[in-house]
Chain A
Amino acid sequence: MGKYIRKRLLQAIPVIFGITILTFFIMKLAPGGPLTGMISPRTSSESIQRAMEAMGLNKPIIVQYWNWLKELLQGNLGYSTYNGQAVLAQILERLPATLLLTVTAFVLSFVVGIPLGVYSATHKYSKADYGLTVFSFVGISIPSFFFGMGLIYIFALKLGWLPTSGFGSSTFRGEGLALVLHKLKYLIMPAAVMSLSNIATVMRFARSSMIETLNQDYIRTARAKGLSEKVVIYRHALKNSLIPVITIFGQSIPNLFGGAYITEKVFAWPGMGLLGVDAINNRDYQILMGLTLFTAILVLLGNLLADIMYAFVDPRIRY
């Protein structure tokens, strides 16, 4: 066990390096480089030269990478080319809103997806199973922005039940439970949009895993012993069929964060995704880079956690 975790951690090191190298070189592709925001047509070529020397931009690219990496390790992700503020501070400011949304969507996708998948598997080839299968195809095929616009149209504009966008009204003066309920209203639609495709994925995975488990010999043994179907399914099959579902944990993290761009734009949710959308419009590469690096590392940690969890749950995993 300890050996597996150590090995898995060691494996993560080259990946982190790869991520930083890729990020750095993509950043070098950006037109103008980090000086763009500070230069006006009247800036003299000498002062540009001075600025480049001060920032080390005339050094060999390997040296630049090394310096950048050193800054990175000290938590310096650079400064926005648009408004000059520190990238990390801006990201951290937006992180809680995005985490709230992604964690809600993450929990929803497993809490809803697994029971649906298990139901589908235990009622294989029934009408309900067929319906759920079609639903899962719809879930992975519907563009989230279109689904979001549809929800806004129905629930906010036509029915008036939920607010169209944002995260809380500035005129709201409630406290405690009232405030939580108020915020919750804003969370419902974005969380639904973000979790839909994940629910569909988890459901399909849980279904096929459950079907596979139900074909195992020990299930036949359990049935042969005369156990009731309920005990067979919920005590013997369910736990074992859930093991492979853990792999989806790791896979769904990048999808959720990637989806944040779109969901947050549709609902004007004040998180990292919206920061990124603004950065796209302002051509603010430093922010985009910072976001990518930040999320890539979050994703890496998520995957690591999923793998370690897998090893805990399934003793057959050895490296």
Chain B
Amino acid sequence: MENTKKRFKRRQSLFKTDAWKRFKKNKLALLGTAVILIMILAAIFAPVLAQNDPYISLQEGSTILKNMSPSESGTILGTDSIGRDVFSRLVYAARVSMSVGLVAVGISTVIGIVLGSISGYFGGVADMVIMRCVDVVNCFPVMFLIIIVATILEPSIYNIMVIIGLCNWTGTARLVRGEILRVREMEYVQAAVSLGASDFRIIFSHVIPNVMAPIIVEATMQMARAIMTEASLSYLGCGVQLPTASWGNMLNEANNLATLTSRPWQWLPAGACIFLAVLSINFIGDGLRDALDAKQKK
């Protein structure tokens, strides 16, 4: 008896699990993980990495160093139209993108799990109402909804996180509902029911842990989408507001022909950062899908 308990309790180290072994084989996913880790580290250590304050125009004597190329200004990526250090802003903007991505996905995943499990587990009227709500939200081009709410509310970074989170739960809800419908009839759930476990306990300690893999994959893909949405909003001017730097609003500032033609350091790095972040997370998501789904072997 003691022995079995111990055996059940013993957890494998993460790096020895089958899932990790499968994940490791996917080179693109590993590359993505490395890029994202670097970005997260850069975001955390932004004050150390940035040579100059991202909000202050650099000056030499009394002249402001506007629109200076990297070699002219002596900074890594030159300066922007009012003389701020582009590299410093880029590093600080990583904080915005990473935190918006994580928080928004946290919110939408929680909502999705709760509504999806209610809908799938109880069925009936609750299911009907929730699924029609999903239809309504899905019918809105989510971008429109987010733009309006972001325009109406003060467009602060916290509002952006919440809005993106509140508008993106439908995918997870549908997924959880489907999984629960599948798992609900399984014997271990029937066993829990016959032992008199409460609905709450059955859902959260028996059903959800068993449908966690697809939820994690979905959350990863959603993080990529959330980062892209924040960048788009900031590009359109209803996202993160100046002077706070975000990769999207850096591109917005640079969106004129003069900058496009002659000052590529003001827009290429910011665009490349969004692209790399989203691409890496998508690679990770793909790797996780293959790694966590044991049934789908190649």
Closest to A130 in B: B28
Contact partner of B147 (CB less than 8 A), chosen from A138, A146, A288, is A288
Given that A265-B236, A285-B148, A296-B139 are contacting pairs, would A18 and B255 also be in contact in the complex, using a CB cutoff of 8 Å? Answer: no
Which of B143, B144, B286 has the most chain A CB within a 10 Å cutoff?
Answer: B144
Contact partner of B141 (CB less than 8 A), chosen from A14, A257, A277, is A257
* Contact residues of B between 135 and 149, Cβ < 8 Å to A: 135-136, 138-145, 147-149
- With an 8 A cutoff between CB atoms, is B87 at the interface? no
Which of A157, A261, A276 has the most chain B CB within a 10 Å cutoff?
Answer: A261
Question: Are A141 and B257 neighbours in the complex by a CB distance under 8 Å?
Answer: no
Question: Are A143 and B152 neighbours in the complex by a CB distance under 8 Å?
Answer: no
Chain B residues lying within 8 Å of A149, measured Cβ to Cβ, are: 251, 254-255, 260, 267, 271
Given that A18-B135, A143-B275 are contacting pairs, would A299 and B148 also be in contact in the complex, using a CB cutoff of 8 Å? Answer: no
* Contact residues of B between 33 and 82, Cβ < 8 Å to A: none
Contact partner of B140 (CB less than 8 A), chosen from A142, A280, A288, A296, is A296
Question: Are B141 and A295 neighbours in the complex by a CB distance under 8 Å?
Answer: yes
Contact partner of B151 (CB less than 8 A), chosen from A138, A146, A254, A288, is A288
Question: Are A292 and B148 neighbours in the complex by a CB distance under 8 Å?
Answer: yes
Given that A137-B283, A288-B151 are contacting pairs, would A281 and B237 also be in contact in the complex, using a CB cutoff of 8 Å? Answer: yes
Question: Are A289 and B148 neighbours in the complex by a CB distance under 8 Å?
Answer: yes
Question: Are A19 and B140 neighbours in the complex by a CB distance under 8 Å?
Answer: yes
Given that A15-B132, A22-B136, A137-B282 are contacting pairs, would A261 and B236 also be in contact in the complex, using a CB cutoff of 8 Å? Answer: yes
Contact partner of A140 (CB less than 8 A), chosen from B147, B153, B237, B282, is B282
Given that A142-B275, A288-B151 are contacting pairs, would A164 and B143 also be in contact in the complex, using a CB cutoff of 8 Å? Answer: no
Given that A261-B143, A266-B255 are contacting pairs, would A145 and B232 also be in contact in the complex, using a CB cutoff of 8 Å? Answer: yes
* Contact residues of A between 293 and 319, Cβ < 8 Å to B: 295-296, 299-300, 303
- With an 8 A cutoff between CB atoms, is A29 at the interface? yes
Chain A residues lying within 8 Å of B141, measured Cβ to Cβ, are: 254-255, 257-258, 292, 295-296, 299
Given contact pairs A15-B136, A288-B147, a sample of 19 additional A-B residue pairs in the complex whose CB atoms are under 8 Å apart: A26-B149, A141-B278, A142-B278, A142-B279, A143-B228, A143-B231, A143-B232, A143-B235, A146-B267, A149-B260, A254-B139, A257-B141, A258-B143, A258-B144, A261-B144, A265-B236, A280-B147, A295-B140, A299-B139
- With an 8 A cutoff between CB atoms, is B274 at the interface? yes
Given that A141-B278, A146-B271 are contacting pairs, would A261 and B136 also be in contact in the complex, using a CB cutoff of 8 Å? Answer: no
Chain B proximity of A217: nearest CB distance (Å): 20
Chain B proximity of A266: nearest CB distance (Å): 7
Chain B proximity of A19: nearest CB distance (Å): 6
- With an 8 A cutoff between CB atoms, is B224 at the interface? yes
Chain A proximity of B165: nearest CB distance (Å): 16
Chain A residues lying within 8 Å of B138, measured Cβ to Cβ, are: 254
Question: Are B279 and A138 neighbours in the complex by a CB distance under 8 Å?
Answer: yes
Chain A proximity of B47: nearest CB distance (Å): 27
Chain B proximity of A222: nearest CB distance (Å): 24
Chain B residues lying within 8 Å of A280, measured Cβ to Cβ, are: 147, 151, 236-238
- With an 8 A cutoff between CB atoms, is B4 at the interface? no
Chain B proximity of A147: nearest CB distance (Å): 8
Closest to A299 in B: B139
Chain A proximity of B238: nearest CB distance (Å): 5
Question: Are A143 and B274 neighbours in the complex by a CB distance under 8 Å?
Answer: yes
Question: Are B153 and A29 neighbours in the complex by a CB distance under 8 Å?
Answer: yes
Residues of chain A at the chain B interface (Cβ within 8 Å): 11, 14-15, 18-19, 22, 26, 29-31, 134, 137-138, 140-146, 149-150, 152-153, 157, 164, 254-255, 257-259, 261-262, 265-266, 276-277, 280-281, 283, 285, 288-289, 291-292, 295-296, 299-300, 303
Distance in angstroms between the alpha carbons of A9 and B28 in the assembled complex = 44
Chain B proximity of A146: nearest CB distance (Å): 3
Closest to B264 in A: A153
Closest to A158 in B: B261
Contact partner of A262 (CB less than 8 A), chosen from B139, B236, B272, B279, is B236
Distance in angstroms between the alpha carbons of A281 and B149 in the assembled complex = 14
Chain A residues lying within 8 Å of B260, measured Cβ to Cβ, are: 149, 152-153, 157
Question: Are B151 and A285 neighbours in the complex by a CB distance under 8 Å?
Answer: yes
Q: Which 3 pairs, one residue from A and one from B, show the smallest C-beta to C-beta distance?
A: A258-B143, A146-B271, A18-B136
Question: Are B236 and A300 neighbours in the complex by a CB distance under 8 Å?
Answer: no
- With an 8 A cutoff between CB atoms, is B133 at the interface? yes
Chain B residues lying within 8 Å of A141, measured Cβ to Cβ, are: 224, 228, 275, 278-279, 282
* Contact residues of B between 79 and 101, Cβ < 8 Å to A: none
Given that A255-B141, A300-B139 are contacting pairs, would A262 and B232 also be in contact in the complex, using a CB cutoff of 8 Å? Answer: yes
Chain A residues lying within 8 Å of B264, measured Cβ to Cβ, are: 153
Chain A residues lying within 8 Å of B151, measured Cβ to Cβ, are: 280, 283, 285, 288
* Contact residues of B between 226 and 250, Cβ < 8 Å to A: 228, 231-232, 235-238, 248
Chain A proximity of B35: nearest CB distance (Å): 12
Question: Are A277 and B139 neighbours in the complex by a CB distance under 8 Å?
Answer: no
Chain B residues lying within 8 Å of A295, measured Cβ to Cβ, are: 140-141, 144
Closest to A257 in B: B141
Question: Are B140 and A146 neighbours in the complex by a CB distance under 8 Å?
Answer: no
Question: Are B148 and A15 neighbours in the complex by a CB distance under 8 Å?
Answer: no
Chain A proximity of B73: nearest CB distance (Å): 22
Chain B residues lying within 8 Å of A145, measured Cβ to Cβ, are: 232, 235, 251, 255, 271
Chain A residues lying within 8 Å of B237, measured Cβ to Cβ, are: 277, 280-281
Question: Are B136 and A285 neighbours in the complex by a CB distance under 8 Å?
Answer: no
Distance in angstroms between the alpha carbons of A183 and B243 in the assembled complex = 39
